[in-house]
Structure 1
């Protein structure tokens, strides 16, 4: 039986990292101003070396508004993916980044993981999640 386990988000074991490199739709959970969870499907890339997860999105999305509303300290968020009985969650503090080089890097990473490059979007931003916790079931 495989057990649920904690992972160092900066030093995951090979199977955990491999799972995050497979093509899976993920979810992002942010908090609305009233404290209720807002959960949406997203593509996520995981960068353990920088302890970051990245989500590309449109600057006018609700998820961006929720993250920005948290202020400079960032918003507490979680991203998760599931495949049958396997699952993995990354948690941390999210901030919206608009710098062209950060957005381009996030698009490149997305293309590597998901096998397609998103079309041009002048309103694209990246939600960067500074990871504080990781867990999963392999």
Structure 2
């Protein structure tokens, strides 16, 4: 497979919510550096979500006529946000809600964008490295 196509596939896979976890092992199998490729793909889309959150918030309020987080499901989400904050949402992002939903939820509930960006980068870096180490260790055990 062409290197450019392989890199693009991993970048695109890292941009899909919940699938972002599953691009590290194929990246390693293709001989790519997943710490860079998967991390950059996921972080770039997360930053785009942070940048577009103001427009999304305005759209939501126009469409629903109320602020985000004011319904019953929003109240549960707001409680989780108040309990765990931006670090908790960022660290659980790849597994439970998808990183982009965690990012949007944090920003839309009033977290500072700089803090969300910092925790997003930290979470993406941590999970990418952990998955890469786990994949390499697993392959080492199997071979």
Larger Rg belongs to: 2
More strand by share: 1
TM-score, normalising length from structure 2? 0.26
More helix by share: 2
Higher relative contact order (CA 8 A, sep 6+): 1
